[in-house]
C-alpha cells in the first residue's frame, strides 16, 4: 500500500500544475454526475428518444437507422453472401463454428481456455478466478486489486460483445434465426444487469465505446431478423445505445498525454454520432469524435508511422481505430483530411516492415488482445489483414504482396468489391531493410533473414506506458523459422509480479549489467510507469547489395556508480542465412554482464561445446560465439513467452554470464552451419567490413541519426565520403530512405 501511495505521488509530481488542476475539477464533475446517472435513463423514454431523433415511431426509426451507410447493409445481404461464398468457399466453417460456441455460451477470453459460462452470462465476474464486482456506482468500485489475482479485463472483454460480429456473419451466411435470438437475449440481459453508470462495465469509457461499436455492428447484421421485430426490444436497445454516447462524451479519458483509451473513446463517438446523427446531441458526439481521431493520429504516432506506446499489439489496435473510423466517416460524407490518410499509410508501412516471412508480428511491448472489431479468424499475432486493407485503400502493390491475399477482414470492412480491387492492384516487391528512426524501430530484411531491433524511447514519450525494458533487444527469423523472440506481456493487474517480470530487462534479448534494470521501476505497483534512463544513442542503418546492418546504443547504465555504455550492431548477410550480433561494453572497472536470447517455443537447443545448435521442423541455425563470448559461462534456462494476453508458454533461454573488466567486445554469429573459430572470425570480419556500421561514424566524421535518414521528399544524391567501402549504396527502403555514409 505504501509503495502504491509513493508511486501515485511520484506520478503526480511529474505532471504539470495545469493538468493537476484539471484532474481535480474533472473529479468534482464526475462525482456530480451521480444524480444524472440515476435520473437520465428515466427521462430518456421511448417518446423522448423519438423526439430527439425526429421519428414518428420506433419501428420506422429502426428501419431508417438500418438504411444509413455502414460497412454491411441488410438490403445488400444476398449479394454480399453470394460474393463471400464465391471468394471464400470454406469461409463459413470457422464463422459457424465460433458462432455455435457462442450459442453454448462457450468463450475463450484472455487466456481462459474454452469455458462454458452458463445459461446467463456473468457480466460482472472474472470467470477465471470467480471474483464478482458489485453493481455499484462505477466510481465507487475498486477494480485494480493488486493484492488478489482477479482481472477486471475479463468482464470488460466479455462486455465488449465483440463476438456479435461472429453471430452476425453466421446469421447472414446461414439464415439461422438462433443467432439473432442470441443477440437479442444477450443485449437484453446486459441492459438489465448494467444500468447506466452502475457496475464495473461502466468503469472504463474505452470499453463503453468498444461495446457501442459491437452493438452497432450487431444492429446492422440483425436489423431485418425476426428476432429483432419486437417493438419493446427495439426501444430498449436504441435507448441503451444512446446512453452509451451520453456516457462516453461525459467521461472522456483525456490526460496530459493521451493514449489508446482516449482514441477509442473518439472511435465510439464517431460510430454513435454517425448512427444517431439525426439528434443534435449525436452531431456533437460526431464532431468531438472526428476531432479526436483526426488529431490523435499526429499525437499518438511518430512521423514515420509508429504508435508512440512502443508496442506492436497496440500499434495494431490504434491502426484499426484510425482506419475503421476514417472509413466510416468517409461513408457518411465526412472525409478525413488527406494528411490523416498519409499518416495512416505510414502506419501500414510499419506493419509491413515488422511482419515476418511466416506472417507473424513480433511480441514487442504490451499486448492485451485489444481490437476494434473482429471480422476474421486469423491468429492473434498475424496482422497481414491490415496490409490487405492497405493494398485496397492505397492501391499499392507492395502491400498486396506483403498481405499475400485479400483477407476476410477486408471483405467485411471494405465491402464485397474489395476482393476485385485487391486483385486489380499490380503486385510489387516489398521493401527490404527499413529504418523507422522517429519510432525507434529498425528492420533488417534479406532473402533469408528478418530482424527487428528496438532502439527508441521507452514508450509514451518516456513514461513507460505499454513499453518495456527492451532497448537494443531484437527478434530474429532466420533460415525458415523464428529463432529469437520477445516474451510478450502476459498479465496486467492480475499479478504485479508477472507484470513486472515480463517488462523487465531479463525478459528481453539485450544485455543486463550488474543486475540493474535498463529503466528503473518507479515501484512494484507502478505497472505502467518507468524511469526514462535508457535513451537511444545514434542509431544508424546501412544497406547494400551484400550486407545490411544496424548500430545503436543507449544511456541506461551511465547512471551506475561506475558508468557503462552498451553499443550493439546487427549485420544481415544477403547471400547466406547469417546474422552477426556484435556488442561493445564501454566503461571502466569490473561488471557482471548477462546476455539472454529467448528462443521461440518451437525451437530445440542443443549445446555442443561453446556452440548451440537450434533446430525446428528439420531446419537448423547455429549460434556461434566468438572467442571472447566463448570464454563466458553458458547455460540453457527455462523461460516464458506470452503469445497473447493471459497465456504463457514454456520456452528456453540461452544465457551467457561473466564478471569481467570493461571495455569489452564480443559477438554471436547466427548461421546455417557450424563454423570453426577461424572460419566464424573471418565471416564476422567480412560482414563488419561490408556493413561498416561499427566504425562508419569515425570514418565519416558524422554524428547522429539525423545525418543518415532522409524522408522521400528530402532525399538528394550526395557524394560518398572517402574511406567508405564500395559495398555501401544509396537505396530506397519504404517509409524512410537511407543515404549510406552521408
User: Computed over its alpha carbons, how large is the radius of gyration of the chain?
Assistant: 27
25: confidence class by pLDDT, cuts 50, 70, 90: confident
Q: Which residues contact 672 (CB under 8 A, 6 or more apart)?
A: 478, 479, 576, 577, 578, 620, 621, 622
Angle of CA points 697, 700, 704, to nearest 5°: 45
> For residue 210, what is its C-alpha cell?
468498444
Distance CA 77, CA 416 (A): 10
Distance CA 23, CA 256 (A): 10
pLDDT in tens, 156-197: 999 999 999 999 999 999 999 999 999 999 999 999 999 999
Question: By C-alpha distance, which of 544, 609, 597 is closest to 568?
Answer: 597
Instruction: Report the pLDDT value the prediction gives residue 735, as an integer from 0 to 100.
Output: 36
Distance CA 343, CA 26 (A): 32
Per-residue burial over 365-374, b if 16 or more Cβ lie within 10 Å, else e, is: bbbbbbbbbb
711: confidence class by pLDDT, cuts 50, 70, 90: very low
Specify whether the backbone of 361 is left (phi greater than 0), alpha (psi in -120 to 50) or beta: beta
> For residue 389, what is its C-alpha cell?
486493407
740, 542 Cβ separation under 8 angstroms: yes
> For residue 22, what is its C-alpha cell?
484539471
Distance CA 380, CA 365 (A): 15
In a domain, 124, yes or no: no
User: What string of H, E and C letters represents the secondary structure of 211-272?
Assistant: HHHHHHHHHHHHCCCHHHCCHHHHHHHHHHHHHHHHHHHHCCCCCCCCCHHHHHHHHHHHHH
Instruction: Report the pLDDT value the prediction gives residue 127, as an integer from 0 to 100.
Output: 98
In a domain, 304, yes or no: no
In a domain, 423, yes or no: no
Distance CA 287, CA 266 (A): 10
> Which DSSP string corresponds to 387-444?
HHHHHHHHT-HHHHHHH-S--HHHHHHH-TTHHHHHHHSPP-PPP-SEEETTTTEEEE
Instruction: Report the pLDDT value the prediction gives residue 77, as an integer from 0 to 100.
Output: 97
> For residue 468, what is its C-alpha cell?
518495456
Question: By C-alpha distance, which of 217, 206, 175, 353 is closest to 268?
Answer: 206
pLDDT in tens, 230-268: 999 999 999 999 999 999 999 999 998 999 999 999 999
Looking at the chain, the whole-number percentage of residues with pLDDT higher than 70 is: 90
Distance CA 123, CA 142 (A): 17
> For residue 431, what is its C-alpha cell?
521493401
Over 60: is that where the pLDDT of 734 sits?
no
Instruction: Report the pLDDT value the prediction gives residue 10, as an integer from 0 to 100.
Output: 53
Instruction: Report the pLDDT value the prediction gives residue 302, as an integer from 0 to 100.
Output: 98
CATH code for the domain in which residue 669 is found? 2.70.98.70
401, 429 Cβ separation under 8 angstroms: yes
pLDDT higher at 110 or 709: 110
Q: Grid cell 533460415 — which residue?
A: 479
Counting Cα atoms < 13 Å in the Cβ hemisphere of 463 gives 20
> Which DSSP string corresponds to 5-40?
HHHHHHHHHHS-HHHHHHHHHHHHHHHHHHHHHHHH
Domain count, the chain: 1
In a domain, 27, yes or no: no
> For residue 703, what is its C-alpha cell?
554524428
In a domain, 558, yes or no: yes
Its domain, for residue 597, covers: 434-701
pLDDT in tens, 296-347: 999 999 999 999 999 999 999 999 999 999 999 999 999 999 999 999 999 9
594, 601 Cβ separation under 8 angstroms: no
Q: Which residues contact 607 (CB under 8 A, 6 or more apart)?
A: 634, 636
Tell me the average pLDDT of the chain. Answer: 91
pLDDT higher at 3 or 51: 51
In a domain, 212, yes or no: no
Over 80: is that where the pLDDT of 710 sits?
no
Distance CA 574, CA 461 (A): 35
Over 60: is that where the pLDDT of 409 sits?
yes
> For residue 252, what is its C-alpha cell?
472522456
270: confidence class by pLDDT, cuts 50, 70, 90: very high
pLDDT in tens, 641-681: 999 999 999 999 999 999 999 999 999 999 999 999 999 99
32: confidence class by pLDDT, cuts 50, 70, 90: confident
pLDDT in tens, 415-449: 999 999 999 999 999 999 999 999 999 999 999 99
Q: Which regions of 534-647 does DSSP assign to beta strands (E)?
A: 536-542, 547-554, 564-573, 579-587, 590-598, 604-608, 611-616, 619-625, 633-641
Over 60: is that where the pLDDT of 723 sits?
no
30: confidence class by pLDDT, cuts 50, 70, 90: confident
Distance CA 399, CA 567 (A): 33
Instruction: Report the pLDDT value the prediction gives residue 8, as an integer from 0 to 100.
Output: 53
19: confidence class by pLDDT, cuts 50, 70, 90: low
603, 483 Cβ separation under 8 angstroms: yes
Q: Which of 119-128, 513-522, 731-740 has the lowest mean pLDDT?
A: 731-740
In a domain, 200, yes or no: no
Instruction: Report the pLDDT value the prediction gives residue 690, as an integer from 0 to 100.
Output: 87
Q: What is the pTM of this model?
A: 0.91
In a domain, 301, yes or no: no
Q: Per-residue pLDDT averaged across 34-51, rounded?
A: 96
Amino acid at each position: 500500500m505504501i509503495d502504491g501511495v509513493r508511486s501515485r505521488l511520484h506520478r503526480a509530481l511529474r505532471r504539470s500544475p495545469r493538468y493537476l488542476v484539471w484532474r481535480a475539477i474533472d473529479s468534482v464533475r464526475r462525482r456530480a454526475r451521480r444524480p444524472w446517472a440515476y435520473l437520465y435513463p428515466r427521462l430518456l423514454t421511448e417518446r423522448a428518444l423519438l423526439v430527439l431523433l425526429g421519428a414518428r415511431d420506433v419501428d420506422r426509426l429502426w428501419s431508417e437507422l438500418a438504411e444509413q451507410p455502414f460497412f454491411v447493409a441488410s438490403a445488400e445481404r444476398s449479394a454480399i453472401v453470394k460474393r463471400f461464398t464465391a471468394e471464400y468457399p470454406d469461409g463459413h466453417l470457422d464463422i459457424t463454428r465460433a458462432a455455435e460456441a457462442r450459442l453454448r455460451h462457450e468463450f475463450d477470453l484472455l487466456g481462459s481456455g474454452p469455458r462454458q459460462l452458463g445459461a446467463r452470462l456473468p457480466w460482472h465476474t472474472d470467470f477465471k478466478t470467480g471474483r464478482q464486482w458489485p453493481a455499484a456506482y462505477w466510481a465507487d468500485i475498486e477494480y485494480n486489486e493488486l493484492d488478489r489475482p482477479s482481472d477486471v479485463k475479463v468482464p470488460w472483454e466479455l462486455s465488449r460483445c465483440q463476438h456479435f460480429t461472429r453471430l452476425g456473419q453466421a446469421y447472414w451466411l446461414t439464415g439461422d434465426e438462433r443467432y439473432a435470438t442470441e443477440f437479442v437475449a444477450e443485449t437484453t440481459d446486459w441492459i438489465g444487469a448494467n444500468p447506466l453508470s452502475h457496475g464495473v462495465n461502466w468503469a472504463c469509457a474505452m470499453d463503453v465505446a468498444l461495446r457501442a461499436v459491437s452493438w452497432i455492428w450487431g444492429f446492422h447484421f440483425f436489423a431485418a431478423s425476426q428476432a429483432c421485430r419486437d417493438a419493446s426490444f427495439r426501444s430498449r436497445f436504441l435507448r441503451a445505445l444512446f446512453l452509451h454516447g451520453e456516457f462516453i462524451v461525459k467521461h472522456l479519458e483525456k490526460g496530459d498525454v493521451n493514449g489508446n483509451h482516449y482514441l477509442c473513446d473518439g472511435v465510439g463517438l464517431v460510430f454513435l454520432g454517425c448512427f444517431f446523427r439525426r439528434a443534435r446531441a449525436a452531431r456533437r458526439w460526431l464532431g468531438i469524435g472526428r476531432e479526436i481521431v483526426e488529431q490523435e493520429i499526429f499525437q499518438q504516432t511518430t512521423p514515420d508511422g509508429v504508435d508512440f506506446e512502443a508496442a506492436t499489439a497496440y500499434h495494431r489496435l490504434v491502426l484499426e481505430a484510425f482506419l475503421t473510423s476514417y472509413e466510416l466517416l468517409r461513408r457518411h460524407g465526412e472525409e478525413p483530411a488527406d494528411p490523416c490518410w498519409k499518416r495512416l499509410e505510414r502506419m501500414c508501412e510499419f506493419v509491413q516492415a515488422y511482419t515476418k516471412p511466416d506472417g507473424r508480428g513480433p511480441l514487442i511491448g504490451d499486448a492485451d488482445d485489444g481490437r476494434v472489431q473482429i471480422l476474421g479468424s486469423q491468429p492473434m499475432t498475424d496482422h497481414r489483414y491490415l496490409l490487405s486493407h492497405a493494398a485496397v485503400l492505397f492501391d499499392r502493390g507492395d502491400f498486396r504482396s506483403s498481405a499475400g491475399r485479400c483477407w476476410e477482414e477486408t471483405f467485411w470492412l471494405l465491402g464485397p468489391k474489395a476482393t476485385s480491387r485487391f486483385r486489380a492492384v499490380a503486385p510489387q516487391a516489398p521493401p527490404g531493410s527499413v529504418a523507422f528512426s522517429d519510432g525507434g524501430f529498425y528492420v533488417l530484411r534479406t532473402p533469408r533473414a528478418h530482424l527487428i531491433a528496438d532502439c527508441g524511447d521507452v514508450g509514451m514519450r518516456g513514461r513507460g506506458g505499454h513499453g518495456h525494458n527492451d532497448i537494443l533487444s531484437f527478434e530474429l527469423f532466420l533460415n525458415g523459422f523464428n529463432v529469437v523472440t520477445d516474451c510478450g506481456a502476459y498479465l496486467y493487474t492480475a499479478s504485479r509480479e508477472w507484470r513486472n517480470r515480463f517488462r523487465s530487462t531479463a525478459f528481453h534479448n539485450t544485455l543486463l549489467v550488474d543486475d540493474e534494470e535498463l529503466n528503473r521501476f518507479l515501484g512494484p505497483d507502478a505497472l505502467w510507469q518507468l524511469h526514462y534512463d535508457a535513451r537511444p544513442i545514434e542509431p544508424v542503418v546501412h544497406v547494400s547489395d551484400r550486407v545490411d546492418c544496424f548500430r545503436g546504443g543507449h544511456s541506461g547504465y551511465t547512471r551506475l556508480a561506475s558508468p557503462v555504455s552498451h553499443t550493439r550492431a546487427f549485420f544481415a548477410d544477403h547471400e547466406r542465412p547469417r546474422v552477426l550480433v556484435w556488442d561493445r561494453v564501454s566503461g571502466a572497472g569490473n561488471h557482471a554482464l548477462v546476455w539472454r536470447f529467448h528462443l521461440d517455443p518451437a525451437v530445440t537447443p542443443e549445446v555442443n561445446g561453446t556452440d548451440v545448435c537450434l533446430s525446428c521442423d528439420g531446419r537448423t541455425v547455429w549460434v556461434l560465439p566468438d572467442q571472447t563470448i566463448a570464454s563466458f559461462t553458458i547455460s540453457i534456462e527455462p523461460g516464458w513467452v506470452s503469445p497473447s494476453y493471459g497465456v504463457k508458454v514454456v520456452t528456453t533461454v540461452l544465457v551467457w554470464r561473466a564478471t569481467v573488466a570493461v571495455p569489452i567486445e564480443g559477438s554471436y554469429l547466427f548461421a546455417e552451419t557450424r563454423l570453426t573459430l577461424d572460419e566464424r572470425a573471418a565471416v564476422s570480419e567480412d560482414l563488419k567490413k561490408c556493413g561498416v556500421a561499427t566504425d562508419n561514424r569515425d570514418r565519416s566524421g558524422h554524428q547522429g541519426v539525423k545525418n543518415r535518414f532522409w524522408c522521400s521528399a528530402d532525399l538528394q544524391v550526395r557524394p560518398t565520403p572517402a574511406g567508405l567501402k564500395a559495398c555501401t549504396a544509396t537505396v530506397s527502403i519504404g517509409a524512410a530512405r537511407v543515404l549510406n555514409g552521408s
